[in-house]
Amino acid sequence: METKSRYEVISDLEKQKRALILEKSGLDFEVETKKREVLNLKRSKDDLSKEKAIFELNQQNAVDDLARKKRDYELRLCNSEDSLDRQIVDAEEDIKNFTATVEKRKNTIDELIKSVTESLERFSQLQKDK
């Protein structure tokens, strides 16, 4: 076994004392570090909650936008249907008016044909008389 001198023993004890003092002062830093880690974990958890809320809000906004687009589309379709219904009613009314006047127009055309035929006959008669 080796014997140490008094100075070596004191020196070893001083080193041990310094190491213990450094370890003791480092304990407060370790506690603060661990507290900071817990605080960071809590912040991450809060951030996740906020991200979830933002995601849900964005999803709801997307659903609302789709619902609005659907209402707009249905309104345009309804307006188009109404417009076509009016056009159909107008076209049917035109057909009724046209068919109601066809006989008169035929009679008028027959009269015009008769008149032109008579004029041709008179003209032909005038030519013969000359």
Q: pTM score, two decimals?
A: 0.45
Handedness of CA 23, 25, 28, 30 (dihedral sign): negative
What pLDDT, in 10s, does the model give residues 78-103?
A: 888 888 889 999 999 999 998 989 99
Is 126 within the bounds of a domain?
no
The Cα–Cα gap between 83 and 89 comes to: 10
What pLDDT, in 10s, does the model give residues 49-75?
A: 999 999 999 999 999 999 999 999 998
Is 33 within the bounds of a domain?
yes
In the chain, DSSP finds a helix count (H) and a strand count (E) of 1, 0
Is 45 within the bounds of a domain?
yes
Q: What average pLDDT does the structure give for the chain? A: 91
Residue 92 sits in which domain range? Answer: 1-100
Is the pLDDT assigned to residue 128 strictly greater than 90? no
Sequence-ordered list of residues with C-beta below 8 angstroms from that of 12, at least 6 positions apart, any chain? 4
Tokens 């008016």 sit on residue: 97
- Kindly indicate the confidence band of residue 3, based on its pLDDT and cuts at 50, 70 and 90: confident
Is 105 within the bounds of a domain?
no
- Kindly indicate the confidence band of residue 29, based on its pLDDT and cuts at 50, 70 and 90: confident
Structural domain count of the chain: 1
- Kindly indicate the confidence band of residue 130, based on its pLDDT and cuts at 50, 70 and 90: low
Is 91 within the bounds of a domain?
yes
**Mean pLDDT in residue range 6-35:** 90
The Cα–Cα gap between 59 and 79 comes to: 30
Is 64 within the bounds of a domain?
yes
